[in-house]
């Protein structure tokens, strides 16, 4: 395997299963005016995402024994380090599962600038996680052994080769998921708690995480990624445990960036300081996340990293009916802090469509505010968001907007501006520069 290390001019951000998408009119710079670029759209692509069957060779297990699979590279907090992650051993699903011992397979990575010999070695940690249900008829899950190893001392603009696995076990280096939209028997379901509606536990099909890891390995084993949690990663299970797959399967530069959580952290990439925030963990001013954010922003030297980009899952500025003003409590708590430190761009997912804002602060056009880009149109079986809240009869009832995972009710009627006295605008809002419902992908390229 190989990956490219160094100053990043183009960066792939995996916004946890909602890929960074840019459609329609693409901004040529983030300081000046946007130049519209027309992207042809085949109408047949709207809302027709289908699942790969588990018999598809792209998601089947192709290694044997404890050979590495689901290999991925993740960015660390600085440009001279990355995380290598992989899985050994097969997952188990059923009534009688026996978790593997993480200590039975060592976590080694050999790497260097030449294919042979690989002159450097790093060791890391391994773990497993379980998804358990105290209900008869539901299948429990235990993962393979998940390995995370951090490589340090990497040089800029350099191609590195690496080999991961336990050297005492013969290896062949082989080549997310919406697991909570499926029951433990693997069948799709739009009912999140059909089998036990009186409990908070949410049935999921964990093998889809393994299928996702296998499908993505040809890309993510070479291109570093970062992830941030979304609502589909909550995956409630027995013992009030949540986010088990998310926190176990991916590597995070949390400790390196002074964070004690996998839900929020930061890192540098080229001239950009990226801040990853959690929309499904406490974010008010007394919370650990907010206090960490204050410390992190205060440390950013804009002469060294002139661009400041923030990312979290549910958007603050979206004109679609789906999830409209759902994250208002988070906006009320954190927007002023991000504004005061001059955040340039914000990326969000959640809404299955594309929308780019004008520079905005507190719903008012402001040249010092960030540009918000909703890029939730990676595509899944839930189809696209198409209806806009400003269209006739589409404005949702305010009482339906809060998300139970994100705190209380904060979305009220607007008190000023063109939408004063109303919960929704009656036309495309001033803050909305461009919006489009379609599947796709895109690239953010930052120069100079």
DSSP letters spanning 356-404: EEPSEETTEE-TTSPEEEEE-TT--TT-----BTTSTT-PPPGGG---G
**410: how many CB neighbours lie within 10 A of its CB?**
17
> In the structure, what pLDDT confidence band is assigned to residue 41 with cuts at 50, 70 and 90?
very low
Report whether pLDDT(361) > 90: yes
| DSSP for residue 194 | G
| DSSP for residue 284 | S
CA atoms within 13 A on the CB side of 332: 14
Question: Coil, strand, or helix at residue 352?
Answer: coil
**113: how many CB neighbours lie within 10 A of its CB?**
15
446 to 105, 270, 354, 374: CA distances (angstroms): 40, 9, 20, 18
**Rounded to whole angstroms, how far apart are CA atoms 343 and 368?**
9
Structure tokens at 93: 């699903």
Share of the chain above pLDDT 70, in %: 83
Q: Which of 315, 350, 328 is nearest to 408 (CA)?
A: 328
**Rounded to whole angstroms, how far apart are CA atoms 205 and 185?**
7
**Rounded to whole angstroms, how far apart are CA atoms 336 and 284?**
12
**Rounded to whole angstroms, how far apart are CA atoms 126 and 391?**
51
290 to 163, 268, 282, 359, 361: CA distances (angstroms): 39, 20, 8, 23, 19
Task: Tell me the pLDDT of the chain averaged across its residues.
Answer: 82
Q: Which of 352, 436, 357 is nearest to 15 (CA)?
A: 352
Q: Which residue has the tokens 């290694």?
A: 63
**Rounded to whole angstroms, how far apart are CA atoms 215 and 71?**
10
Q: Which of 15, 153, 160, 32 is nearest to 448 (CA)?
A: 32
Q: If you average pLDDT over each of 67-81, 389-403, 423-437, which comes out highest? A: 423-437
Structure tokens at 146: 């998940």
Q: Which domains occur in the chain, in start order?
A: 2-445 (3.60.21.10)
Q: Which residue has the tokens 């890391």?
A: 124
Catalytic residue list contains 323 = yes
Task: State pLDDT tens for residues 295-316.
Answer: 999 999 999 999 999 999 999 9
Task: State pLDDT tens for residues 146-181.
Answer: 999 999 999 888 899 999 887 665 337 221 567 777
Average pLDDT over residues 354-360: 96
Task: Tell me what pLDDT residue 246 has.
Answer: 93
CB 84 within 8 A of CB 162: yes
Average pLDDT over residues 432-445: 85
CB 423 within 8 A of CB 433: no
Task: Tell me what pLDDT residue 409 has.
Answer: 85
> In the structure, what pLDDT confidence band is assigned to residue 20 with cuts at 50, 70 and 90?
very low
Residue 70 region, left (φ>0) first, then alpha (ψ -120 to 50), else beta? left
- Phi, psi at residue 365, to the nearest 5°? -60, 130
Report whether pLDDT(280) > 80: yes
CB 222 within 8 A of CB 161: no
**Rounded to whole angstroms, how far apart are CA atoms 72 and 76?**
13
Report whether pLDDT(25) > 50: no
Radius of gyration of the chain (CA): 22
Task: Tell me what pLDDT residue 248 has.
Answer: 93
Catalytic entry in 323, 350, 352, 388: 323
Task: State pLDDT tens for residues 184-225.
Answer: 767 776 665 555 666 667 778 889 899 999 999 998 998 888
Average pLDDT over residues 275-280: 94
Task: Tell me what pLDDT residue 118 has.
Answer: 85
Task: Tell me what pLDDT residue 22 has.
Answer: 27
Structure tokens at 211: 């299928």
The DSSP H or E segment spanning 127 is strand 125-127
CB 359 within 8 A of CB 370: yes
Task: Tell me what pLDDT residue 336 has.
Answer: 98
Q: How are beta strands 92-94 and 140-142 bridged, if at all?
A: antiparallel
């Amino acid at each position: 395997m190989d990956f490219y290390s160094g100053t990043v001019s183009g960066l792939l951000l995996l916004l946890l299963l909602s890929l960074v998408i840019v459609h329609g009119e693409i901004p040529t710079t983030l300081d000046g005016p946007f130049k519209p670029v027309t992207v042809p759209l085949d109408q047949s692509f709207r809302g027709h995402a289908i699942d790969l069957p588990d018999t598809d060779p792209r998601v089947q297990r192709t290694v044997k024994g404890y050979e590495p699979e689901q290999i991925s590279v993740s960015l660390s907090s600085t440009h001279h380090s990355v995380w290598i992650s992989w899985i050994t051993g097969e997952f188990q699903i059923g009534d009688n599962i026996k978790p593997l011992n993480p200590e039975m397979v060592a976590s080694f990575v050999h790497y260097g600038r030449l294919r042979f010999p690989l002159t450097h070695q790093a060791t890391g940690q391994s773990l497993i996680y379980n998804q358990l249900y105290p209900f008869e008829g539901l299948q429990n899950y235990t993962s393979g052994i998940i390995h995370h190893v951090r490589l340090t001392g990497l040089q800029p603009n350099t191609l590195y080769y690496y080999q991961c696995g336990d050297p005492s076990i013969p290896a062949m280096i082989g080549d997310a998921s919406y697991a909570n939209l499926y029951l433990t028997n693997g069948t799709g379901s739009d009912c999140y708690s059909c089998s036990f509606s009186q409990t908070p536990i949410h049935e999921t099909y964990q093998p889809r995480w393994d299928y996702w890891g296998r499908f993505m390995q040809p890309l993510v084993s070479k291109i570093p990624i970062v992830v941030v949690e979304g609502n589909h990663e909550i995956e409630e299970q027995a013992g009030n445990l949540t986010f088990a797959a998310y926190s176990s399967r991916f590597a995070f530069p949390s400790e390196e960036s002074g964070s004690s959580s996998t839900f929020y952290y930061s890192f540098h990439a080229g001239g950009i300081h990226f801040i990853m925030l959690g929309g499904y963990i406490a974010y008010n001013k007394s919370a650990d996340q907010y206090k960490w954010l204050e410390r992190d922003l205060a440390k950013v030297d804009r002469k060294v990293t002139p661009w400041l980009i923030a990312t979290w899952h549910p958007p603050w500025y979206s004109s679609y009916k789906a999830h409209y003003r759902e994250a208002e409590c988070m906006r009320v708590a954190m927007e002023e802090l991000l504004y005061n430190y001059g955040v340039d761009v914000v990326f969000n997912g959640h809404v299955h469509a594309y929308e780019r804002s004008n520079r905005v602060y507190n719903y008012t056009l402001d040249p010092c505010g960030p540009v918000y880009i909703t890029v939730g149109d990676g595509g899944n079986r839930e189809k696209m968001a198409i209806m806009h809240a400003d269209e006739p009869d589409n404005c949702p009832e305010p009482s339906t907007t809060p998300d139970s995972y994100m705190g209380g009710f904060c979305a009220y009627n607007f008190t000023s501006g063109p939408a004063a006295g109303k919960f929704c605008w009656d036309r495309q809002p001033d803050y909305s520069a461009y919006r489009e419902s379609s599947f796709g992908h895109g690239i953010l390229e930052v120069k100079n």
